[in-house]
Protein backbone atom coordinates (compact mmCIF):
# COMPACT_ATOMS: atom_id res chain seq x y z
CA UNK A 1 0.00 0.00 0.00
CA UNK A 2 2.77 2.36 0.95
CA UNK A 3 4.70 1.76 -2.26
CA UNK A 4 1.51 2.31 -4.27
CA UNK A 5 0.94 5.61 -2.48
CA UNK A 6 4.51 6.69 -3.23
CA UNK A 7 4.06 5.66 -6.84
CA UNK A 8 0.83 7.65 -7.19
CA UNK A 9 2.35 10.69 -5.54
CA UNK A 10 5.26 10.36 -7.95
CA UNK A 11 2.92 10.33 -10.93
CA UNK A 12 1.10 13.43 -9.77
CA UNK A 13 4.30 15.31 -9.08
CA UNK A 14 5.73 14.52 -12.51
CA UNK A 15 2.99 16.57 -14.13
CA UNK A 16 3.95 19.86 -12.56
CA UNK A 17 7.70 19.31 -12.29
CA UNK A 18 10.14 21.08 -14.57
CA UNK A 19 11.15 19.18 -17.67
CA UNK A 20 14.53 17.49 -17.00
CA UNK A 21 16.44 19.68 -19.49
CA UNK A 22 14.07 22.66 -19.35
CA UNK A 23 11.95 21.64 -22.34
CA UNK A 24 9.23 19.03 -22.68
CA UNK A 25 9.75 16.63 -25.54
CA UNK A 26 6.66 16.76 -27.72
CA UNK A 27 6.16 14.60 -30.77
CA UNK A 28 3.61 15.83 -33.33
CA UNK A 29 2.39 14.14 -36.50
CA UNK A 30 1.73 16.75 -39.24
CA UNK A 31 3.44 20.09 -39.75
CA UNK A 32 0.22 21.96 -38.95
CA UNK A 33 -0.05 20.25 -35.55
CA UNK A 34 3.67 20.76 -34.84
CA UNK A 35 3.27 24.46 -35.66
CA UNK A 36 0.53 24.91 -33.05
CA UNK A 37 2.62 23.17 -30.38
CA UNK A 38 5.66 25.37 -31.20
CA UNK A 39 3.57 28.54 -31.09
CA UNK A 40 1.80 27.72 -27.84
CA UNK A 41 4.60 25.80 -26.09
CA UNK A 42 7.26 28.37 -26.99
CA UNK A 43 10.46 27.98 -24.94
CA UNK A 44 9.03 25.15 -22.86
CA UNK A 45 8.79 22.56 -25.61
CA UNK A 46 11.06 20.82 -28.06
CA UNK A 47 8.89 19.63 -30.93
CA UNK A 48 9.65 16.65 -33.15
CA UNK A 49 7.53 16.47 -36.30
CA UNK A 50 6.99 13.03 -37.83
CA UNK A 51 5.56 13.89 -41.25
CA UNK A 52 7.69 16.25 -43.32
CA UNK A 53 6.83 18.38 -46.37
CA UNK A 54 5.01 16.53 -49.15
CA UNK A 55 4.07 13.56 -46.96
CA UNK A 56 0.51 12.21 -47.17
CA UNK A 57 -0.84 11.60 -43.63
CA UNK A 58 -3.68 9.30 -44.81
CA UNK A 59 -1.16 6.71 -45.99
CA UNK A 60 1.59 7.35 -43.46
CA UNK A 61 2.94 4.39 -41.52
CA UNK A 62 5.22 4.95 -38.53
CA UNK A 63 8.81 3.84 -39.13
CA UNK A 64 11.03 2.25 -36.45
CA UNK A 65 12.54 5.68 -35.89
CA UNK A 66 9.09 7.25 -35.46
CA UNK A 67 8.16 4.69 -32.85
CA UNK A 68 11.29 5.61 -30.94
CA UNK A 69 10.42 9.33 -31.27
CA UNK A 70 6.94 8.55 -29.94
CA UNK A 71 8.36 6.46 -27.09
CA UNK A 72 10.88 9.17 -26.14
CA UNK A 73 8.26 11.93 -26.03
CA UNK A 74 6.76 13.37 -22.83
CA UNK A 75 3.55 13.96 -24.72
CA UNK A 76 2.15 13.47 -28.20
CA UNK A 77 -0.17 15.59 -30.32
CA UNK A 78 -1.87 14.40 -33.49
CA UNK A 79 -4.50 15.87 -35.79
CA UNK A 80 -7.20 13.24 -35.30
CA UNK A 81 -10.58 12.49 -36.91
CA UNK A 82 -8.81 9.54 -38.50
CA UNK A 83 -6.45 11.69 -40.59
CA UNK A 84 -3.53 9.56 -39.45
CA UNK A 85 -5.53 6.44 -40.31
CA UNK A 86 -2.63 4.00 -40.09
CA UNK A 87 -1.34 5.20 -36.71
CA UNK A 88 -4.43 4.62 -34.57
CA UNK A 89 -3.05 1.47 -32.91
CA UNK A 90 0.21 3.14 -31.91
CA UNK A 91 -1.69 6.09 -30.40
CA UNK A 92 -3.92 3.72 -28.43
CA UNK A 93 -0.96 1.77 -27.12
CA UNK A 94 0.98 4.90 -26.17
CA UNK A 95 -1.97 6.56 -24.48
CA UNK A 96 -1.62 4.00 -21.67
CA UNK A 97 1.83 5.43 -20.89
CA UNK A 98 1.64 9.17 -21.60
CA UNK A 99 -0.74 11.89 -22.79
CA UNK A 100 -1.66 11.35 -26.45
CA UNK A 101 -3.90 14.20 -27.57
CA UNK A 102 -5.88 14.93 -30.74
CA UNK A 103 -5.93 18.67 -31.42
CA UNK A 104 -9.43 18.29 -32.91
CA UNK A 105 -10.83 16.60 -29.79
CA UNK A 106 -12.82 19.68 -28.75
CA UNK A 107 -14.72 20.13 -32.00
CA UNK A 108 -18.43 19.43 -31.74
CA UNK A 109 -20.42 17.26 -34.12
CA UNK A 110 -22.14 20.37 -35.49
CA UNK A 111 -18.80 21.91 -36.47
CA UNK A 112 -17.69 18.82 -38.39
CA UNK A 113 -18.52 17.79 -41.94
CA UNK A 114 -19.04 14.18 -42.96
CA UNK A 115 -16.99 12.15 -45.41
CA UNK A 116 -19.43 12.01 -48.39
CA UNK A 117 -18.33 8.46 -49.24
CA UNK A 118 -18.80 7.23 -45.65
CA UNK A 119 -21.15 9.64 -43.82
CA UNK A 120 -20.57 7.95 -40.45
CA UNK A 121 -16.97 9.26 -40.53
CA UNK A 122 -16.04 12.92 -40.16
CA UNK A 123 -13.92 14.75 -42.73
CA UNK A 124 -10.56 15.31 -40.99
CA UNK A 125 -9.38 18.35 -43.04
CA UNK A 126 -10.49 20.95 -40.48
CA UNK A 127 -7.32 23.10 -40.70
CA UNK A 128 -8.63 24.78 -43.86
CA UNK A 129 -11.31 26.57 -41.90
CA UNK A 130 -9.04 28.86 -39.89
CA UNK A 131 -11.77 29.48 -37.30
CA UNK A 132 -11.90 25.72 -36.59
CA UNK A 133 -8.12 25.50 -36.39
CA UNK A 134 -8.28 28.23 -33.75
CA UNK A 135 -10.24 25.72 -31.63
CA UNK A 136 -7.34 23.31 -32.12
CA UNK A 137 -5.00 26.00 -30.75
CA UNK A 138 -7.21 26.34 -27.66
CA UNK A 139 -7.15 22.56 -27.27
CA UNK A 140 -3.33 22.47 -27.31
CA UNK A 141 -3.22 25.36 -24.83
CA UNK A 142 -5.53 23.46 -22.47
CA UNK A 143 -3.69 20.15 -22.84
CA UNK A 144 -0.27 21.72 -22.31
CA UNK A 145 -1.58 23.64 -19.28
CA UNK A 146 -3.02 20.49 -17.73
CA UNK A 147 0.27 18.67 -18.26
CA UNK A 148 2.52 21.50 -17.07
CA UNK A 149 0.47 23.68 -14.73
CA UNK A 150 3.51 25.66 -13.63
CA UNK A 151 3.61 27.40 -17.03
CA UNK A 152 -0.10 27.78 -17.56
CA UNK A 153 0.11 31.56 -17.91
CA UNK A 154 2.87 31.37 -20.49
CA UNK A 155 0.81 28.96 -22.61
CA UNK A 156 -2.24 31.21 -22.27
CA UNK A 157 -0.29 34.29 -23.40
CA UNK A 158 1.36 32.46 -26.32
CA UNK A 159 -2.00 31.09 -27.45
CA UNK A 160 -3.65 34.51 -27.25
CA UNK A 161 -0.98 36.02 -29.49
CA UNK A 162 -1.23 33.18 -32.05
CA UNK A 163 -5.05 33.26 -32.02
CA UNK A 164 -4.96 36.98 -32.86
CA UNK A 165 -2.74 36.22 -35.89
CA UNK A 166 -5.09 33.44 -36.98
CA UNK A 167 -8.10 35.75 -36.68
CA UNK A 168 -6.36 38.10 -39.13
CA UNK A 169 -5.61 35.17 -41.42
CA UNK A 170 -9.26 34.13 -41.37
CA UNK A 171 -10.33 37.66 -42.32
CA UNK A 172 -7.68 37.79 -45.07
CA UNK A 173 -8.91 34.53 -46.62
CA UNK A 174 -12.53 35.65 -46.52
CA UNK A 175 -11.87 39.07 -48.07
CA UNK A 176 -9.51 37.81 -50.78
CA UNK A 177 -11.67 34.89 -51.90
CA UNK A 178 -14.76 37.08 -52.02
CA UNK A 179 -12.98 39.11 -54.73
CA UNK A 180 -13.39 36.18 -57.17
CA UNK A 181 -16.72 36.45 -59.02
CA UNK A 182 -19.11 33.90 -57.51
CA UNK A 183 -19.61 31.85 -60.71
CA UNK A 184 -15.85 31.39 -61.07
CA UNK A 185 -15.27 30.56 -57.43
CA UNK A 186 -14.85 26.79 -58.03
CA UNK A 187 -11.92 24.85 -56.64
CA UNK A 188 -11.04 21.59 -58.40
CA UNK A 189 -8.35 19.43 -56.76
CA UNK A 190 -7.07 15.86 -56.72
CA UNK A 191 -8.62 14.82 -53.41
CA UNK A 192 -11.47 16.19 -51.36
CA UNK A 193 -9.39 18.10 -48.81
CA UNK A 194 -11.15 21.43 -49.16
CA UNK A 195 -14.72 20.89 -47.94
CA UNK A 196 -14.18 22.98 -44.79
CA UNK A 197 -12.40 25.63 -46.83
CA UNK A 198 -15.36 25.76 -49.18
CA UNK A 199 -17.87 26.05 -46.36
CA UNK A 200 -15.90 28.73 -44.49
CA UNK A 201 -15.07 30.95 -47.45
CA UNK A 202 -17.98 30.31 -49.81
CA UNK A 203 -16.06 28.39 -52.47
CA UNK A 204 -17.54 25.49 -54.44
CA UNK A 205 -15.18 22.52 -54.19
CA UNK A 206 -14.78 19.42 -56.34
CA UNK A 207 -12.28 16.63 -55.80
CA UNK A 208 -11.38 13.73 -58.03
CA UNK A 209 -10.59 11.34 -55.20
CA UNK A 210 -12.46 10.98 -51.94
CA UNK A 211 -11.64 12.38 -48.51
CA UNK A 212 -8.80 9.92 -48.02
CA UNK A 213 -6.15 9.37 -50.67
CA UNK A 214 -6.36 5.68 -49.70
CA UNK A 215 -9.53 5.47 -51.83
CA UNK A 216 -8.90 4.66 -55.48
CA UNK A 217 -10.32 6.79 -58.26
CA UNK A 218 -11.32 5.37 -61.62
CA UNK A 219 -11.68 6.44 -65.23
CA UNK A 220 -15.33 7.12 -64.55
CA UNK A 221 -14.43 9.68 -61.86
CA UNK A 222 -12.06 11.40 -64.29
CA UNK A 223 -14.77 11.45 -66.98
CA UNK A 224 -17.41 12.85 -64.60
CA UNK A 225 -15.10 15.62 -63.48
CA UNK A 226 -14.08 16.40 -67.09
CA UNK A 227 -17.75 16.67 -68.10
CA UNK A 228 -18.35 19.11 -65.25
CA UNK A 229 -15.36 21.24 -66.23
CA UNK A 230 -16.55 21.37 -69.85
CA UNK A 231 -20.17 22.17 -69.04
CA UNK A 232 -19.30 24.75 -66.38
CA UNK A 233 -16.45 26.23 -68.51
CA UNK A 234 -14.03 25.89 -65.58
CA UNK A 235 -10.57 27.05 -66.67
CA UNK A 236 -8.22 25.99 -63.90
CA UNK A 237 -7.58 23.00 -61.65
CA UNK A 238 -5.04 22.64 -58.84
CA UNK A 239 -2.42 20.08 -57.89
CA UNK A 240 -1.57 19.27 -54.28
CA UNK A 241 1.89 19.01 -52.75
CA UNK A 242 1.16 15.73 -50.96
CA UNK A 243 -0.77 13.94 -53.73
CA UNK A 244 0.74 12.58 -56.99
CA UNK A 245 0.06 14.98 -59.88
CA UNK A 246 -0.93 12.32 -62.41
CA UNK A 247 -4.56 12.23 -61.28
CA UNK A 248 -5.19 15.91 -61.93
CA UNK A 249 -3.12 15.76 -65.14
CA UNK A 250 -5.50 13.06 -66.38
CA UNK A 251 -8.32 15.56 -65.90
CA UNK A 252 -6.49 18.26 -67.90
CA UNK A 253 -5.86 15.75 -70.74
CA UNK A 254 -9.45 14.53 -70.63
CA UNK A 255 -10.71 18.10 -71.02
CA UNK A 256 -8.26 18.74 -73.90
CA UNK A 257 -9.69 15.70 -75.70
CA UNK A 258 -13.05 17.47 -75.56
CA UNK A 259 -11.54 20.70 -76.88
CA UNK A 260 -11.75 22.46 -73.54
CA UNK A 261 -8.52 24.00 -72.28
CA UNK A 262 -7.93 23.67 -68.57
CA UNK A 263 -4.72 24.93 -67.04
CA UNK A 264 -3.08 23.93 -63.79
CA UNK A 265 -3.70 26.98 -61.60
CA UNK A 266 -0.85 26.16 -59.26
CA UNK A 267 0.16 23.89 -56.43
CA UNK A 268 -1.77 23.95 -53.17
CA UNK A 269 -0.63 22.65 -49.83
CA UNK A 270 -3.39 20.35 -48.66
CA UNK A 271 -2.34 17.74 -46.10
CA UNK A 272 1.27 18.85 -45.58
CA UNK A 273 2.99 22.22 -45.25
CA UNK A 274 5.98 23.39 -47.33
CA UNK A 275 9.67 22.91 -46.54
CA UNK A 276 10.87 24.32 -43.20
CA UNK A 277 12.34 27.81 -43.58
CA UNK A 278 10.10 28.73 -46.54
CA UNK A 279 6.98 30.91 -46.06
CA UNK A 280 4.80 27.87 -46.78
CA UNK A 281 6.60 25.95 -44.04
CA UNK A 282 4.26 27.52 -41.48
CA UNK A 283 0.52 27.10 -41.14
CA UNK A 284 -0.14 30.80 -41.73
CA UNK A 285 2.16 30.85 -44.78
CA UNK A 286 0.55 27.73 -46.18
CA UNK A 287 -2.99 29.11 -45.94
CA UNK A 288 -1.88 32.46 -47.45
CA UNK A 289 -0.15 30.64 -50.31
CA UNK A 290 -3.29 28.65 -51.07
CA UNK A 291 -5.57 31.68 -50.94
CA UNK A 292 -3.26 33.77 -53.15
CA UNK A 293 -2.76 30.91 -55.65
CA UNK A 294 -6.52 30.33 -55.94
CA UNK A 295 -7.29 34.05 -56.28
CA UNK A 296 -4.58 34.57 -58.94
CA UNK A 297 -5.78 31.62 -61.02
CA UNK A 298 -9.54 32.22 -60.82
CA UNK A 299 -10.05 35.97 -60.57
ZN1 LIG B 1 -6.42 14.56 -47.15
Q: Which residues of 26-48 are buried (b: 16+ CB within 10 A; e: fewer)?
A: bbbbbbbbbbbbbbbbbebbbbb
pLDDT at 211: 75
CA of 191 to the centre of ligand 1 (A): 7
CATH 3.40.50.1980 fits 20-106+122-171, yes or no: yes
Tens of pLDDT, residues 252-289: 999 999 999 999 999 999 999 999 999 999 999 999 99
Ligand 1 centroid vs 17 CA: distance in angstroms?
A: 38
Q: What are phi and psi of 192, to 5 degrees?
A: -75, 60
pLDDT of residue 220: 87
Distance 73 CA to ligand 1 centre (A): 26
Q: How far is the CA of 10 from the centre of ligand 1 (A)?
A: 41
pLDDT at res. 171: 98
Q: CB under 8 Å, gap of 24 or more: what pairs does 167-171 form?
A: 167/134, 169/130, 169/284, 169/287, 169/288, 170/130, 170/131, 170/134, 170/200
In CATH terms, the fold of domain 174-298 is Rossmann fold (3.40.50)
Residue 99: Cβ within 10 Å count: 17
Measured in angstroms, how far is the CA atom of residue 57 from the centroid of ligand 1? 7
Q: Please state, in angstroms and as integers, the Cα–Cα distance from residue 242 to each residue in 58, 185, 195, 284, following that order.
A: 10, 23, 17, 18
- 228 alpha carbon – ligand 1 mean position (Å): 22
Q: Where are the domains of the chain?
A: 20-106+122-171, 174-298
* Same fold for the pair 20-106+122-171 and 174-298: yes
Instruction: Give the pLDDT of residue 163.
Output: 98
Residue 193 CA to ligand 1 center (angstroms) comes to: 5
In this prediction, residue 8 carries a pLDDT of 46
pTM equals: 0.90
pLDDT at 9: 43
pLDDT in tens, 228-241: 999 998 999 999 99
| Residue 2 CA to ligand 1 centre (angstroms) | 50
Residues with CB under 5 A from ligand 1 (ion): 193, 271
User: What is the rounded distance in angstroms from the CA atom of residue 286 to the CA atom of residue 299?
Assistant: 20
Distance (angstroms) between ligand 1 centre and the Cα of 59 equals 10
Q: How many whole angstroms from 272 Cα to the centroid of ligand 1?
A: 9
d(CA 186, CA 180): 10
pLDDT at 17: 64
Q: Which residues of the chain have pLDDT under 50?
A: 1-2, 5-14
Q: How far is the CA of 215 from the centre of ligand 1 (A)?
A: 11
CA of 178 to the centre of ligand 1 (A): 25
Amino acid sequence: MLSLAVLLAGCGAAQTAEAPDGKWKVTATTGMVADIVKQVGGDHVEVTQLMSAGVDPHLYKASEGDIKRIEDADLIFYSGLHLEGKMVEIFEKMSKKKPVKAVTAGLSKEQLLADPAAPENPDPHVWFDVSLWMKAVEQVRDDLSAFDQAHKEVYAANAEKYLAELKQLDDYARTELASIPKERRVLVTAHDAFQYFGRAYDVEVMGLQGISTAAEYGLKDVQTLVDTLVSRKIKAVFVESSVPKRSIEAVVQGAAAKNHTVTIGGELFSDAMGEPGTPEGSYIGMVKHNVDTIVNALK
